[in-house]
Amino acid sequence: MKTGIESISMYIPRFGLDIRDLAKARNVDPSKFIRGIGQEFMAVPAPDEDVVTLGANAALQALEGVDRSAIRTVIFATESGIDQSKAAAIYVHKLLDLPQNCRTVEMKQACCSSTSALHFAMATVALHPEQKVLLVASDVARYGLGSPGEPTQGAGAVAMVISAQPKIIAMGEHVGYYTEDVMDFWRPNYMDEALVDGKYSIKVYMHALEEAWNDYRTQSQAHFESFRHFCYHLPFSRMGLKAHLHLARLEKSGLSAAGLQAQVEPSLAYNRRIGNAYTASLYLGLLSLLETHPESLEGNRVGFFSYGSGCMGAFFGGTILPGYRKALPTRVHRDLMTNRQRLTLAEYEAFYTHTLPQDGNCYRTDRHRTGAFRLAGLENHQRLYEKVPQVKVLAADAAEACAAAPVM
Ligand code: HMG
């Protein structure tokens, strides 16, 4: 039985910062950020967006044309969770009016919990082929202002319906794993920004790639030439290319540098203009490959490497299905990518430093451009989400809004 991705969609914030503006403000040669790290633009969430709204917006699109009554599991993968106890999946479940006989759960292991979620979802539908799983991967990547990690920040969500009727890609049954206790990147509960040992994290990523690949080869008997395309976890776009060249060297691939670059380049385009989106990054890379490659990829095999700091790596493969292009909302994604507001540095820093109050008092977030869902505010320590009417409403008066507001 085939299991895999029946539908997939992404959502990104409606605001971003041009990486040249960041380089200028931080007094760095822009070519370091553009060529050295490989970034051009960074998605920046507005104060009325969080991982729930990003994820719900991606899921709304991914559920277009899908039989919702078959969804009995919602898995939300994130490392930017909004609550230590309640799963973000429950908020998404409510915003999307999904069936109540449903299991909802949140998963964590840095950037690669989305991949474990994918494999748990595949196991579920293999056991119950009539069921579908909604998988949401959503994150906001934050490092300190002025830190080396700052140009790699980003935000976004990918939602996928995993089923036994895949239309986009059928996933292989084998997965190579690697786990090791390391401190390359982490975020203690009391911090809003990640702590990272950047150069060390790259070494650990490469090591996890080697080990997960070796395990995958043992499990599956596959080899480097088994794949036409490769998608890597992308903390920044140059990382994908570095990882691929590393793997090709290990495997003594006879392909030219240009040939190797062609295997990975189409998967990097979205990351360059979004930045890191942690759990969503690998799957934004898959969307980038599927939606920007000029040729039809039907029948081609893709190798995936998922990495989560701390650390865990997973290598696996999939085969792109006939007719996949018809099942992709490429036009919607192009519109999201091109129709974003470029922030000034001051606006970016204001968004970055905005924090929600921690005293439980009534608070309403100013209204910014969002998708179909937004974070309306807080009350009694509870986040309030609302569906956005398809009309443009400008900055709400916070005090007045607290008295009214039909929010959930
Ligand atoms: P850095 O110290 O600012 O940069 O940190 P650098 O000095 O290493 O330079 C970067 C590249 O730019 C180098 O290229 C330079 O040569 C080049 P390379 O040698 O690597 O090929 N360069 C230039 N190129 C052109 N013109 C110039 C120029 N100057 C220098 N003028 C670092 C870079 C990525 C470490 C930093 O941004 C960082 O700490 N990022 C966050 C951590 C990260 O992304 N780690 C990646 C692996 S860990 C991971 O993927 C997991 C993660 O997603 C989290 C999770 O799992 O939850 C992060």
CA separation (Å) from 126 to 1, 2, 131, 256, 314? 7, 8, 9, 39, 20
Q: Is the pLDDT of residue 103 over 70?
A: yes
* Exposure b/e, 308-345, CB count within 10 A at least 16 = b: bbbbbbbbbbbbbbeebeebbbeeebeebbeebeebee
Q: How confident is the model at residue 37 (pLDDT cuts 50, 70, 90)?
A: very high
227 alpha carbon – ligand 1 mean position (Å): 27
Q: Is the pLDDT of residue 402 over 70?
A: no
- Select from 29, 185, 279 the residue to mutate for testing ligand 1; criterion: most ligand atoms less than 8 Å from CB: 185
Taking residues 332-354, report their average pLDDT. Answer: 97
What pLDDT does residue 408 have? 35
Q: Is the pLDDT of residue 406 over 50?
A: no
Ligand 1 atom nearest 310 alpha carbon? 56
Q: Is the pLDDT of residue 401 over 60?
A: no
- Select from 153, 196, 239 the residue to mutate for testing ligand 1; criterion: most ligand atoms less than 8 Å from CB: 196
37 alpha carbon – ligand 1 mean position (Å): 6
Q: Is the pLDDT of residue 117 over 90?
A: yes
Q: Is the pLDDT of residue 107 over 80?
A: yes
Q: Is the pLDDT of residue 396 over 50?
A: no
What pLDDT does residue 394 have? 34
Q: Is the pLDDT of residue 395 over 50?
A: no
| Residue among 53, 61, 14, 17 nearest 368 (CA) | 14
Angle, in degrees to the nearest 10, between helices 281-292 and 330-338: 110
What pLDDT does residue 360 have? 87
Q: Could you give the domains of the chain? A: 4-342 (3.40.47.10)
CA 346 to chain centre: 26
Q: How confident is the model at residue 94 (pLDDT cuts 50, 70, 90)?
A: very high
The residue whose CA is least distant from atom 42 of ligand 1 is 198
What pLDDT does residue 171 have? 98
Q: How confident is the model at residue 250 (pLDDT cuts 50, 70, 90)?
A: very high
The residue whose CA is least distant from atom 17 of ligand 1 is 36
Taking residues 51-65, report their average pLDDT. Answer: 98
What pLDDT does residue 198 have? 97
* Exposure b/e, 41-57, CB count within 10 A at least 16 = b: bbbbbbbbbbbbbbbbb
Q: How confident is the model at residue 189 (pLDDT cuts 50, 70, 90)?
A: very high
* DSSP H/E element including 219: helix 198-220
How high does pLDDT run on average in the chain?
A: 95
Taking residues 325-333, report their average pLDDT. Answer: 97
**Cis upstream peptide for 311 (omega within 30°):** yes
Q: How confident is the model at residue 129 (pLDDT cuts 50, 70, 90)?
A: very high
**pLDDT one-digit tens code per residue, 369-382:** 999 999 999 999 99
149 alpha carbon – ligand 1 mean position (Å): 7
The residue whose CA is least distant from atom 6 of ligand 1 is 36
Catalytic residue among 79, 106, 291, 386: 79
Lowest mean per-residue pLDDT among 3-17, 85-99, 117-131, 391-405: 391-405
Rounded Cα distance, 275 and 405, in Å:
34
Whether 111 is a known active-site residue: answer yes
Q: Is the pLDDT of residue 399 over 50?
A: no
- Select from 24, 109, 111, 201 the residue to mutate for testing ligand 1; criterion: most ligand atoms less than 8 Å from CB: 201
What pLDDT does residue 389 have? 84
Whether 79 is a known active-site residue: answer yes
What pLDDT does residue 398 have? 37
The residue whose CA is least distant from atom 37 of ligand 1 is 149
- Ligand 1 pocket residues where CB is under 6 Å: 29, 31-32, 35-37, 79, 110-111, 148-149, 152, 184-185, 196, 198-199, 201-202, 205, 233, 235-236, 239, 276, 278, 307-309
Taking residues 266-276, report their average pLDDT. Answer: 98
Whether 231 is a known active-site residue: answer no
Ligand 1 atom nearest 279 alpha carbon? 57
The residue whose CA is least distant from atom 34 of ligand 1 is 198
Q: How many C-beta neighbours within 10 Å does residue 249 have?
A: 10
R_g over Cα of the chain: 20
What pLDDT does residue 334 have? 97
Rounded Cα distance, 97 and 95, in Å:
6
Rounded Cα distance, 386 and 372, in Å:
9
What pLDDT does residue 390 have? 72
CA separation (Å) from 46 to 2, 50, 322? 40, 8, 38
